[in-house]
Structure 1
């Protein structure tokens, strides 16, 4: 294969190579028909295919047309192919169901094939670091393990049906203010453990065809020009063998990007191509690096076109049912006092529905993620249908179409709320218009929606709040309602899914994939978001999301992993396969889960790992496993999860690798991060030795971590006449450990000039050589 590629590349002119490495317009790669090289077509698609009509044709747009474009306008949507709108990533992540997400991926791939699309630009999978990031609705979770598992399921689903994927945005795209110019400063452990770990899991588990680099810089280097990120970590460490494609317009210096490992620059850039061609001609850039880009792109083109089979028809009705099922599994019941839900004619004779979102649902995000949905379920229609003439239904819009308070509309809604047995209040938060300052300005819902909640809750104690938002909102008014239901951006099937949950035809099973704080100032990145102009410091380090709330002992409004059901689940019989695990062995963790309530339901079992004593700081607990289990009333099932060496490890910058320490660990099984039901301890033994190198400024505590280092140092003292062999004992150890100076400074003060700088350098080299030989053994 490589020889065939080499032959093909040798037939290409320099100009051919350069032009193959940029787009042919907005959404295609360049075809070279005389060489038999076809193009591939790509499209946005976080929660469904967004593909504008005519996008497969290269058309030169005028400057004015290009700056006047929009994805969200009615005109733009009218010019966009219809597709199934599935729940957003922030929503479907609350299903904690990789199998369901795999099915969604398959369905989206089929809709791509219907339009001749070879490559889907997704999934989005950045960490939801802060609730004001506008594009968080495109991302799964605040947790890298959950993010990686769900994104891998999506990639596997799409690629199983013959379409490529492009997980994005690699990496640290966690703010949308000045997002093309911001420099993220992040410590190495946080980068590895939080922001890269999800991508690593996807690369290893799903082998995506491409990875999309981000707009931002990381620690002063553009992500698309960073050889550490693209070559060393992505390709060499993780084994990625696909194409690195730029985000649209992300490239600042194509020569630097080529050296760093970027392959495909999107969209078409004639100026970059000219600059790249000149760089090769004048010797600034080795042509072999350009050839490597070309080979990667040719491999991608072959992979996505050779077995590509367009679909003449797609079963959109089945896809709509799948979107509805996904909404059912993702809607989260946050509060249900006095068992107000599910609604029934036995409890409710007159039901008020207030809030325009009941009739005009907010079910998806904006920008390049927007979908021209084929069929949208209207919540009000499905609620009315389930009332079945047994419950009288009243409706009032309650606020204006823009979410503003309107006194007359508010008065009407309050009036019908007073006469009803219960009231459903629809409220939510719209996203800002996409711009250079795209982040949300606060965590509030729309002002008119909040006024409606306050008025209705005062008029009727049996209020059910139904929320629609892409990311967490502050809920100071939640205490006034009996029930709170979070639909997020639930996709086109949300309306019927919600109605079924409200009336008990479906038991809610969604659980939060992020922490919902009491207030914005409680959030981990509150003091550093959205940053100082173009500088964004990740000052919270590894303490993102629930890790921070646990460490600071801050009670959130609703914790990570939380969600209620109409039934109750009991946990018991926690069993570990080992009480002492020798690595690289596997620890099997099994637990029995019983549906102790009256109705069928699904429970999400969550496994958290804690290491109470570690050399480097660790969060109090970290998610390391989960399973969603369906149970009939009275049924018990055993859930088994596995922990491998990497699950016990943290990233140690000193060694430049993931290190699992020999230590005691706690296995914590819970229904949420704050509802731990069972615990068990395991001792993990790692036969590999990770001993810090000694420096002349190391302290005695570090020096004595290794018995070999200590004995070599004592031998050195004996050789120089400072001690005799019989003085070496525990008492000497403890005395030296009390010294707070580095060993060179201590010896300088206490050896009367016997130990010179040269001697200290010599003994440090001896010690490190001894440590290296011990580690190899």
Structure 2
């Protein structure tokens, strides 16, 4: 195959090769008919196919063909279910095949640095391990159907404000451990056919023009072999992007940038070798996609059922006091809220899907044959944030007569949309006022939420129960119905932290929307890592989610208590369902280093599984850890290292709800010590036992009248402690009898020989 593709590339004219470097139009690459090279057709989106039937645009302004609208990524992230994501990927792949789509633009795995990001509904999690593993399953599903997935937006695209010009300044450790890690496992494990470069700059370079990002990291370190596609309109300078490793600029621009490539090549400013590499990759993809074309009828009813299952598995029961849920037989229930009649099932922008079927909550509840009686009142308007006295009065009337009021609240589409960030975390004031008014006439209140990102809940004490459904897709209504009535058991867990206040969020003081530069001052302390480090109790922690049943965790067993690089640590734990109904539990494993200053700060998620357990039954859950689970990114040596020492293995049902812990010893891979130089501190030298011994013995050879000798031989405790911060060069200062520069250089050389 390689030789055949190289032969095709060698037969192309310069103009034909450059034509492959950008779209022919908004969605397709050009075909080269004389060489039988087919076009590649792309389409949004992450939670459903958006193939436009009318004029093309990138923001979902024009209507697309009917397709299955699955729950959005924020919702699916809360499922913690790899198998579910894979099935959804397969369903999307089938719909792509039917519509002659070769590349599906998704999933999105950008980290949720802040809940203010207007596009968070398209992303899976604040945690890179969870995000990357769920994305890998989704990609595997899509590509099983012979359609390529395009992982996006690479990389560090964490806000919408100034997204096309923003320069993100992020330190190397956070870049590797948090932001790139969200892509890494998905790329290495699932091998997506494409990666989409982001709009923004990273530490001064546009993502689409960064050789370090697109070639060194993506291709050389991670082994990516697919094509790199630009986000629509992301390319700043085409020749620089081609050199960096960007293959296809989208959308097409009538060949204007292709002509620039030709000019630069003829002028000698750009090597044709770069062009040949891109042509090779694009031709390879075009031929592979064409070979795997398999148009067939799609069982859309089955896909609707899958969308229902996804909404069911992903909804999170945040609160359930007095066992308010599920609703009880014989109760009369007031359904209140415009979102019950017009539910938000997805976000706005380029991912907007035209659902082929849409169930409505009011229709389902009011027409259902049930032992629970329902009445409905609109309560508020979605077109305005102002209170409507007539709607409020009607809602209070039915709430007062009912046994329970179920109030549907959430964010209108204008509050969170692609291209703009949020400015606060509040619900619309008319919804909050309605909730307070209903509370004056009804004590039994359930709140159902439809939103694409966390919200503040200063009203949290009013409802007895809160069900977070996020943006649940076209089959959301039946999932809500079955969860409220207890026909199904909630099993979703939050894939992000809900803060009590916006001011508590990690990036609050460094999130800017009015500058072309931003500094990620919180470094690796993103999401729950920050709340742990600052000891701030969130409103709801990462991993939180209740059930209608209860689970009991046993003790952790491991196959070894001493871990070395290259080992696989096998972990098992028994879980029992001690309730009276079947339920699913997400087992979350966190790793916490004990005291290592160079290891990851705080605990981090390193394994998870979701299991179904019948009432009264027990299962044993098996998890595995490799050396990456104990590694941190070493900036000095530009690689992943293990800091030796003791590590806690913690298993729980949320990041702050740990039920079992054990400890193992892990061997260090830090054989390469930091190089000692004149400005290394005494403390850094003393951190290594052999170096400390050598330095201590050397100090004993210094004349006793020297200041240095007195500090370390006769100095007080505070003086020695202070001296740990002195640079080594200071040993040659302070007195006439101090060591000479020559003697200092000699001991530095000996220290570096260790």
Match of 2:275 in 1: 290
Match of 2:168 in 1: 184
Matches within 5 A, 1:690-769: 690-706=672-688, 709=691, 738-750=723-735, 752=737, 755-756=740-741, 760-761=744-745, 764-765=748-749, 767-768=751-752
Matches within 5 A, 1:240-255: 240-255=224-239
Match of 1:159 in 2: 143
Q: 1:468 to 1:12 in 2, by over 3 A?
A: same
The structural deviation recorded for 1:732 is 9.9
- In structure 1, distance between residues paired with 2:419 and 2:105: 23
SS at 1:276's partner residue? Answer: helix
Q: After superposition, give the CA deviation of every residue in 1:639-681 in whole Å (9 maximum; x if it has no partner).
A: 0111110001111101111111111011111111111111111
Match of 2:528 in 1: 546
The structural deviation recorded for 1:304 is 1.5
- Paired residues of 1:364 and 1:489 also in contact (CA < 8 A): yes
The structural deviation recorded for 1:4 is 2.6
Q: 1:637 to 1:204 in 2, by over 3 A?
A: same
Match of 1:216 in 2: 200
The structural deviation recorded for 1:753 is 7.3
Which residue among 90, 102, 109 is the counterpart of 1:125?
109
- Paired residues of 1:466 and 1:484 also in contact (CA < 8 A): yes
The structural deviation recorded for 1:711 is 6.7
After TM superposition, the score normalised by the length of structure 2 is 0.94
Do residues 299 (structure 1) and 284 (structure 2) align? yes
The structural deviation recorded for 1:703 is 2.4
Match of 1:225 in 2: 209
Match of 2:563 in 1: 581
Match of 2:43 in 1: 43
Match of 2:402 in 1: 420
Which residue among 380, 384, 392 is the counterpart of 1:399?
380
The structural deviation recorded for 1:761 is 4.6
- Paired residues of 2:731 and 2:739 also in contact (CA < 8 A): no
Match of 2:589 in 1: 607
The structural deviation recorded for 1:752 is 4.4
Do residues 562 (structure 1) and 544 (structure 2) align? yes
- Paired residues of 1:227 and 1:259 also in contact (CA < 8 A): yes
Q: 1:579 to 1:732 in 2, by over 3 A?
A: farther
- Paired residues of 1:177 and 1:436 also in contact (CA < 8 A): no
Q: 1:47 to 1:433 in 2, by over 3 A?
A: same
- In structure 2, distance between residues paired with 1:110 and 1:224: 30
The structural deviation recorded for 1:407 is 1.1
- Paired residues of 2:731 and 2:738 also in contact (CA < 8 A): no
Match of 2:19 in 1: 19
- In structure 2, distance between residues paired with 1:436 and 1:202: 24
The structural deviation recorded for 1:685 is 1.5
Which residue among 89, 97, 104 is the counterpart of 2:81?
97
SS at 1:134's partner residue? Answer: coil
Q: After superposition, give the CA deviation of every residue in 1:583-607 in whole Å (9 maximum; x if it has no partner).
A: 3211111111100001010011111
- Paired residues of 2:572 and 2:622 also in contact (CA < 8 A): yes
The structural deviation recorded for 1:5 is 2.7
SS at 1:18's partner residue? Answer: helix
The structural deviation recorded for 1:452 is 1.6
- In structure 1, distance between residues paired with 2:425 and 2:99: 38
Q: 1:414 to 1:717 in 2, by over 3 A?
A: closer
- In structure 2, distance between residues paired with 1:401 and 1:742: 63
Match of 1:6 in 2: 6
- In structure 2, distance between residues paired with 1:412 and 1:54: 42
Q: After superposition, give the CA deviation of every residue in 1:58-82 in whole Å (9 maximum; x if it has no partner).
A: xxxxxxxx8xx67455xx22xx110
Match of 1:273 in 2: 258
The structural deviation recorded for 1:432 is 2.7
Q: After superposition, give the CA deviation of every residue in 1:303-359 in whole Å (9 maximum; x if it has no partner).
A: 211222122x1100000000000000011111111111111224x1x2111111112
Q: After superposition, give the CA deviation of every residue in 1:255-310 in whole Å (9 maximum; x if it has no partner).
A: 11112111111111333212111111000111111111111111221221122212
SS at 2:119's partner residue? Answer: helix
Q: 1:609 to 1:403 in 2, by over 3 A?
A: farther
Matches within 5 A, 1:45-60: 45-53=45-53
- In structure 1, distance between residues paired with 2:587 and 2:674: 38
Do residues 175 (structure 1) and 156 (structure 2) align? no
Match of 2:356 in 1: 374
Matches within 5 A, 1:662-681: 662-681=644-663
- In structure 1, distance between residues paired with 2:402 and 2:327: 13
Match of 2:221 in 1: 237
- Paired residues of 2:552 and 2:576 also in contact (CA < 8 A): yes
Do residues 630 (structure 1) and 630 (structure 2) align? no
SS at 2:298's partner residue? Answer: coil
Match of 2:33 in 1: 33
- Paired residues of 2:23 and 2:250 also in contact (CA < 8 A): yes
- Pick which of 736-745 and 165-174 moved more: 736-745
- In structure 2, distance between residues paired with 1:625 and 1:751: 59
- Paired residues of 2:382 and 2:412 also in contact (CA < 8 A): no
Q: 1:620 to 1:326 in 2, by over 3 A?
A: same
SS at 2:472's partner residue? Answer: coil
Q: 1:393 to 1:589 in 2, by over 3 A?
A: same
Which residue among 447, 452, 455 is the counterpart of 2:434?
452
- Paired residues of 1:386 and 1:503 also in contact (CA < 8 A): no
Q: After superposition, give the CA deviation of every residue in 1:464-507 in whole Å (9 maximum; x if it has no partner).
A: 11110011111111211111111100001110011000000000
Q: 1:127 to 1:614 in 2, by over 3 A?
A: same
Q: After superposition, give the CA deviation of every residue in 1:513-539 in whole Å (9 maximum; x if it has no partner).
A: 111111111111111223442112111
The structural deviation recorded for 1:433 is 7.8
The structural deviation recorded for 1:718 is 9.7
Do residues 327 (structure 1) and 303 (structure 2) align? no
The structural deviation recorded for 1:716 is 7.7
Q: Tell me the number of residue pairs that the alignment of Structure 1 and Structure 2 aligns.
A: 746
Match of 1:58 in 2: none
Unpaired stretches in structure 1, ≥5 consecutive residues: 56-65, 772-777
Q: 1:71 to 1:498 in 2, by over 3 A?
A: same
Unpaired stretches in structure 2, ≥5 consecutive residues: none
Q: 1:456 to 1:262 in 2, by over 3 A?
A: same
SS at 2:381's partner residue? Answer: coil
Q: 1:720 to 1:315 in 2, by over 3 A?
A: same
Match of 2:636 in 1: 654
- In structure 2, distance between residues paired with 1:680 and 1:521: 35
After TM superposition, the score normalised by the length of structure 1 is 0.92
Matches within 5 A, 1:71-150: 71-73=59-61, 76-77=62-63, 80-150=64-134
Matches within 5 A, 1:410-559: 410-432=392-414, 438-559=420-541
Q: 1:714 to 1:673 in 2, by over 3 A?
A: closer
RMSD: 2.4
SS at 1:479's partner residue? Answer: coil
The structural deviation recorded for 1:139 is 0.1
Match of 1:598 in 2: 580
Q: 1:722 to 1:372 in 2, by over 3 A?
A: same
- Paired residues of 1:722 and 1:751 also in contact (CA < 8 A): no
- Paired residues of 1:134 and 1:431 also in contact (CA < 8 A): no
SS at 2:554's partner residue? Answer: strand
- Paired residues of 2:195 and 2:227 also in contact (CA < 8 A): yes
- In structure 2, distance between residues paired with 1:482 and 1:89: 28
